[in-house]
Chains A and B, each alone.
Chain A
Amino acid sequence: MIEEFFNVKLPVDEHLILKRNRFLTPLQELNGKRISIITGIHGDEIEGQYVCYLLAKWLNENPDKIKGIIDIYPSMNPMGIDSITRGFPFYNVDINRTFPGKTSEFLPGQVANAIVEAIKGSDYAIDIHSSNIFLRELPQVRISKSNAKELVPLAQKMGIDFIWVHDAVTVLESTFSHTMNTLGTKTLVVEMGVGMRITKEYGENLTEGILNLMAQLDIIDRPLSLSKPSFVSTINAEVHFINSPCSGVFIPTLEHNVTVAQGEKLGDIIDPLLGEIKATLLSPCDGLLFTIREYPVVYEGSLIARILEDTKEEKA
């Protein structure tokens, strides 16, 4: 059932409309649980489109298996998605820094508010991102430390490759996930793949993970498939950031989603004019290379890679 939850007139003969597709079981069988799958807050992140398609296809084909309410929100920044624009076009604002928004604010804040009002009351939400155009990410769920106790077990039900428990940062209080978790909707943020692209394998795996999660939450009736255990960052497993020491062009040596040894070469920063290698980047630890730079041009400081260090117990 397609439902509009935000509609505003644009200057020239068009409306900006936000829609969701609601799947629900006949009322007498409803168990009361509701999950929202949302994506497209950043218009240059497309991986979630495929996941929404696969989920909606499964739900269309299996209406008798639905035991709760499943809302799919594929496009929270329609003009951004249609124009490869990360933020809200015209205003040049990141919607994911304007939550919870207000009806009295400028348009991006109104959109954020409408998203919150539509999803409020869901028991669970999954917000699917695709990193950005600069980085390729192993599928991962990101959870702030303050929510780890509640959300890590939920994320583990999805069998996703990696769960990153990170420090809470004040600025992230203006994100969708923080707002929804504050309002009582258990919200997971998924990052995977790279901006402007779809990685079919990741989309298929995440879809399977979400179906598995919904089955375990009794929202759909479906046999559980075996899910692989996730890597989880803990206090014993540090995430290392490798930033470029200089400007240039990054030529990777390794693909991501591989384990690396301390001192192993990640890639070079080269100078095309001089024909020289300006820097060689090495892994600072043994661990899992879960992020690698996709867009080659770098400044000093540009993020090249992230590595989840093997836990100290494993090393011992």
Chain B
Amino acid sequence: MREEILFEITSLSREPMRVKAFKFGKKDATPSCVIVGPMTGDAIDQLWIASRMVRFLRQKELENPSFILGEIVVVPTANTYSFNMGKSFWPLDNTDIDVMFPGYEKGETTQRIAARLFEKTNNFDFAILLEARKDHAECKPYVSLLANGAEDVDDARAFGLDFIHIKDESPIDTVSINYNWKIWNAKSFSIISGKKGELRKNDANKVFDAIVRFLSKHKIIDFPIFEGSIGNVVTYDNIEIIKSSAAGLFDTLVHVGDRVVHGQPLARIYNTLDGTLMQTIIAPFEGIISCAYDYPLIFQNAIAFRIIRLEDTQLP
């Protein structure tokens, strides 16, 4: 393993922010894969996954140097400053680094971070981004492919996660690292999981296993694995949004990943002052809870659940 500081950003009063990479295998060996951890300082699961991956690869490479068949680079995070102060976005101006790609070396601070990170990560065969959802939702781990990378769905199945979401591109996606990796010809994937600000080890470990499986199936490492899921492809058309009609205290009755049936109570919403039951949210059909609202107070018309319709998913 080679540990390297990819770049630094200096500060008035703090230690410089060092963006580190951990490199495995021979430089420029193929196939190559870069794994980039979170750019938001509240994606704890993703930091756990990235650091566990460094530890795993280091230990296995020490045991057997030929374990690494290609080249792997892990960048656990590009935003240590925000992790250290419990913030999500860049501490000074609250900008999101992942809307700054491909970056601009002469631009604002987060544009420069993006430019430097992109320069160091844009020439790999495979590129994996670890992300938490940016809205208030906890979700079942899934692979997210932008529509410009939809042809990579077979490669995405190597993760063995249950769902692969092909996401329609919006203007904001064109400035994400994932989109720009793809433009520069990497096969790029986002893995989205967990809940912001918390460590959910069960789901985090599933993602960890999925990445090991992916590396093994693409012959980047030599390591035995268990087969995963076949990878159901879903789009917005398969995902039904269940909204709250009341506001108040949100009492969830189901878990993310649960299979629910038509008519099953999913959550209750109570008046926050007098305790009156305001709404019982009912499953309108059979499916899998892919995402659930993650905060105990809920607005009216908030997205309480996303359910993947059972009959609609595409099998290979």
- The chain A residues found within 8 Å of chain B, CB to CB, are 8-13, 16, 86-87, 90-93, 97, 104-107, 110, 132, 134, 170-174, 241, 243, 246-249, 272, 297-303
Is B171 a contact partner of A300 (Cβ separation < 8 A)? no
Q: Mark B7-22, 1 if CB is under 8 A from A, else 0.
A: 0011110000000000
**Bound Cα distance from A249 to B170, whole angstroms:** 38
Is B300 a contact partner of A8 (Cβ separation < 8 A)? yes
Of the residues B10, B94, B241, B247, contact of A247 by C-beta under 8 Å: B10
Which residues on B sit within 8 Å (CB–CB) of A87?
94
Given contacts A87-B94, A171-B99, A174-B171, contact A247 B299 (CB under 8 A): no
Is B300 a contact partner of A92 (Cβ separation < 8 A)? no
The chain A residue sitting closest to B106, CB to CB, is A243
Is B93 a contact partner of A134 (Cβ separation < 8 A)? yes
Given contacts A170-B171, A297-B12, contact A302 B109 (CB under 8 A): yes
Which residues on A sit within 8 Å (CB–CB) of B89?
92
Is B249 a contact partner of A11 (Cβ separation < 8 A)? yes
Is B297 a contact partner of A12 (Cβ separation < 8 A)? yes
Which residues on B sit within 8 Å (CB–CB) of A272?
12
Which residues on B sit within 8 Å (CB–CB) of A297?
12, 92
Q: What's the dominant secondary structure at chain B's contact region?
A: loop
**Bound Cα distance from A65 to B246, whole angstroms:** 44
Which of B108, B175, B241: most chain A CB closer than 10 A?
B108
Is B109 a contact partner of A301 (Cβ separation < 8 A)? yes
- The chain B residues found within 8 Å of chain A, CB to CB, are 9-12, 88-89, 92-94, 99, 106-112, 134-136, 170-172, 174-175, 241, 243, 246-249, 272-273, 297-303
Which residues on A sit within 8 Å (CB–CB) of B94?
86-87, 92
Would you give the shortest CB distance from A41 to chain B, in whole angstroms? 15
Is A243 a contact partner of B249 (Cβ separation < 8 A)? no
Of the residues A106, A134, A247, contact of B303 by C-beta under 8 Å: A106
Would you give the shortest CB distance from B297 to chain A, in whole angstroms? 4
Of the residues A12, A16, A105, A107, contact of B272 by C-beta under 8 Å: A12
**Bound Cα distance from A288 to B21, whole angstroms:** 43
Which of A13, A87, A106, A174: most chain B CB closer than 10 A?
A106
The chain B residue sitting closest to A14, CB to CB, is B247
Q: 29 A-B pairs, CB-CB below 8 angstroms?
A: A8-B299, A8-B300, A9-B246, A9-B299, A10-B247, A11-B247, A11-B248, A12-B248, A12-B272, A12-B273, A92-B88, A93-B134, A106-B136, A106-B303, A170-B175, A171-B99, A171-B174, A173-B171, A246-B10, A247-B10, A248-B12, A299-B9, A299-B109, A300-B9, A300-B112, A301-B110, A301-B111, A302-B92, A302-B109
Question: How many pairs of residues, A versus B, come closer than 8 Å at their CB atoms?
Answer: 99
Is A11 a contact partner of B297 (Cβ separation < 8 A)? yes
Is A171 a contact partner of B108 (Cβ separation < 8 A)? no
Which residues on B sit within 8 Å (CB–CB) of A16?
299
Would you give the shortest CB distance from B246 to chain A, in whole angstroms? 7
Of the residues A12, A104, A171, A301, contact of B241 by C-beta under 8 Å: A104
Which residues on B sit within 8 Å (CB–CB) of A134?
93
**Bound Cα distance from A172 to B92, whole angstroms:** 22
Which residues on B sit within 8 Å (CB–CB) of A248?
12
Given contacts A134-B93, A247-B11, A299-B11, contact A106 B135 (CB under 8 A): yes
Which residues on B sit within 8 Å (CB–CB) of A12?
248, 272-273, 297
Which residues on A sit within 8 Å (CB–CB) of B247?
8-11
**Bound Cα distance from A8 to B110, whole angstroms:** 35
Which residues on B sit within 8 Å (CB–CB) of A173?
171
Which residues on A sit within 8 Å (CB–CB) of B273?
12-13
List the 4 closest pairs (A to B, CB-CB), nearest first.
Answer: A9-B247, A9-B300, A301-B109, A11-B297
